Amino acid sequence: MFTIEHDFDATVITLVDEGTDKGVPLQEDVVINAFEDCVTVEQYDPRQDRMQKITLSLAQLRDLGAALDLPEGVYRLRRPENGPG
């Protein structure tokens, strides 16, 4: 399950673990904040009793999206020659 909210400066997506696999412990919610210049991913860590946050640049997010569909290896995405600078 997930929710999508549009705030003033970000789109906020929350991923909720519903426990579809029997016997596998539920994970904490994952909150993704999509800003104009970056994306943050947050998840509560009960062992440390605090939120953990990762910030991805838009280039890192683009690379992550591409990596999900590629086999093992090392890659560099190229911009189209006539694309934005």
The DSSP element (H or E) to which 78 belongs, if any, is none
Parallel, antiparallel, or unpaired: how do β-strands 30-34 and 11-15 relate? Answer: antiparallel
- What's the pTM value of the predicted model, to 2 decimals? 0.80
What is the pLDDT, as a whole number, of residue 22? 81
CB count within 10 Å of CB 39 equals 19
Which residues are bridge partners to 3 per DSSP?
A: 14
Q: Is-contact 51 31, C-beta < 8 A?
A: no
Place of tokens 């673990």: 17
Over residues 29-77, the pLDDT tens digits come to: 999 999 999 999 999 999 999 999 999 999 999 999 989 888 889 988 8
